[in-house]
Amino acid sequence: MSAALSIIAEVETALHGASSEKRTDILRRVTDLFVASSDTSDETQAQLFDGVMGQLISHVESRAAAELSHRLATMANAPAGTVRRLANHDDVEVAAPVLTRSRRLTDGDIIEIAKLKSQAHLMKIAARPQLSETVTDVLVEHGNAMVANELAVNRGAQFSKLGMAKLVMRADGDDRLSQSIATRNDIPPRLFQQLVAQATDVVRKKLLADAPPERQNEITQILSDIAAQVAPKRASNPSMIVAQQTMTAMSQDTELFHTKLLEFANEKRVPETIAGLAVLSQLPNEEIDQLFYSANELGMVVLCRSLGLDWHRTGVIISATPVAQKYEQPQLDELHQQFEALSIPSAQRLLRFWQGRQAVVRAMGKRA
């Protein structure tokens, strides 16, 4: 350890007046020494290196910090504090090596970074060889479309039921994400059916062409079932206008409004239910209509949760949708579980992602 102590003695001097080149040189020498002694270093020695590296990182140029990040990224016993500091660096070129490869980062470390750092940081996390459900839940919630797709193509990423359901909802109108999710072997059958049902004709044809024989049969059957279904009759424009006027006039009395919304949903009075949700959410009727008639019932769960409705009201509203009217109790119980697992801020974020994608779809005019 004499060499280490000799270099460490230079650190204080380097931090007070030494040139950037000198600090970088010291950081390299400290790193060289750690790498050379890592096989025999005990925890006390590792902490000593950790403290020195940690001090130097904030006093060197990003180029030098990125070099350190590359060197430590694959080391099983890399100084944990230094790795965390590098992973939290605002410059993604510095953070990238350890974010993508270091095993010294815990799920807790990664989740904290995912909630606070840039989408570029999240992209690097999404590319890690292994990702737990708790991490992918956060990435699905906070990541943009590129992050979502990176997750979908990552075979080492594990998803909770709700996390995968959110990913499928986000794929509505996103051809690239739809295709990426469809290639996964861990997507539950019902979610796969929803994915195909909401996909554009272009995506459906590509899925059918690219799928292995066993999945081709599944896709063909789903498409056949979709074609055989009788599309629910949607409310006419005049009836929607009247419903909108009725619910808007009623909205000044909050208690009466919520009572009547529940009553209309219970009676399957669709125009009033859609109009009421539009008034409550301040979203266009067209978006509420799309969620209401979607094959993916999570959309209505997300909408109701984002509005702060309780499960009783949410369950009544969802039961009025065409897809949920066919459900047995186990499926309704699963929706209840999804509802309880969603926080209001999470639902609001997911709804915003969905709205953003629908705006892109409308602008491109590509809805099948």
Q: Is position 317 within any domain?
A: yes
Looking at the fold, whether 243 and 223 belong to one and the same domain comes out as no
Contact 339, 287 (CB under 8 A): no
Looking at the fold, whether 293 and 193 belong to one and the same domain comes out as no
Q: What is the pLDDT of residue 22?
A: 78
Q: Is position 86 within any domain?
A: yes
**One-letter amino acid identity for 82?**
T
Q: What is the pLDDT of residue 83?
A: 95
Q: Burial level of 186, CB count in 10 A (0-12/13-18/19+)? A: exposed
> CA-to-CA distance for 286 and 278, rounded, in angstroms?
9
Q: What is the pLDDT of residue 213?
A: 84
Examine the pLDDT at 103 and tell me if it is beyond 90.
yes
Contact 305, 342 (CB under 8 A): yes
305-to-36, 46, 220, 299 alpha-carbon distances in Å = 55, 47, 34, 10
Q: In the structure, what pLDDT confidence band is assigned to residue 292 with cuts at 50, 70 and 90?
A: very high
192-to-143, 218, 280, 295 alpha-carbon distances in Å = 22, 10, 31, 11
Looking at the fold, whether 354 and 249 belong to one and the same domain comes out as yes
Looking at the fold, whether 5 and 67 belong to one and the same domain comes out as yes
Q: What is the pLDDT of residue 10?
A: 63
> CA-to-CA distance for 78 and 168, rounded, in angstroms?
37
Q: What is the pLDDT of residue 42?
A: 67
> CA-to-CA distance for 353 and 115, rounded, in angstroms?
16
Looking at the fold, whether 250 and 343 belong to one and the same domain comes out as yes
- CA of residue 229 relative to chain centroid, distance: 32
| Phi then psi dihedrals of residue 307, to 5 deg | -85, -5
Q: Is position 185 within any domain?
A: yes
Looking at the fold, whether 333 and 286 belong to one and the same domain comes out as yes
Total domains in the fold of the chain: 3
Q: What is the pLDDT of residue 214?
A: 80
Query: Residues of the chain with pLDDT > 90: what percent?
Result: 65
Examine the pLDDT at 13 and tell me if it is beyond 80.
no
**One-letter amino acid identity for 282?**
Q
- Closest by CA to 262, choosing from 209, 328, 341, 317, is 317
Q: Is position 153 within any domain?
A: no
| Structure tokens belonging to residue 41 | 């270093």
Looking at the fold, whether 322 and 212 belong to one and the same domain comes out as no
Examine the pLDDT at 263 and tell me if it is beyond 90.
yes
Q: Is position 233 within any domain?
A: no
> CA-to-CA distance for 231 and 295, rounded, in angstroms?
11
Mean pLDDT (the chain) is 90
Q: What is the pLDDT of residue 366?
A: 57
Looking at the fold, whether 221 and 309 belong to one and the same domain comes out as no
Stretch among 79-93, 115-129, 176-190, 202-216 having the lowest mean pLDDT: 202-216
> CA-to-CA distance for 136 and 190, rounded, in angstroms?
20
Examine the pLDDT at 311 and tell me if it is beyond 80.
yes
Looking at the fold, whether 304 and 214 belong to one and the same domain comes out as no
Q: What is the average per-residue pLDDT within 138-149?
A: 97
Higher pLDDT, 147 or 3: 147
Which SS3 state, helix, strand or coil, does residue 157 take?
A: strand
Q: In the structure, what pLDDT confidence band is assigned to residue 12 with cuts at 50, 70 and 90?
A: low
Domain containing 7: what range?
Answer: 1-22+45-105
Looking at the fold, whether 244 and 218 belong to one and the same domain comes out as no
343-to-163, 232, 350, 366 alpha-carbon distances in Å = 13, 31, 11, 32
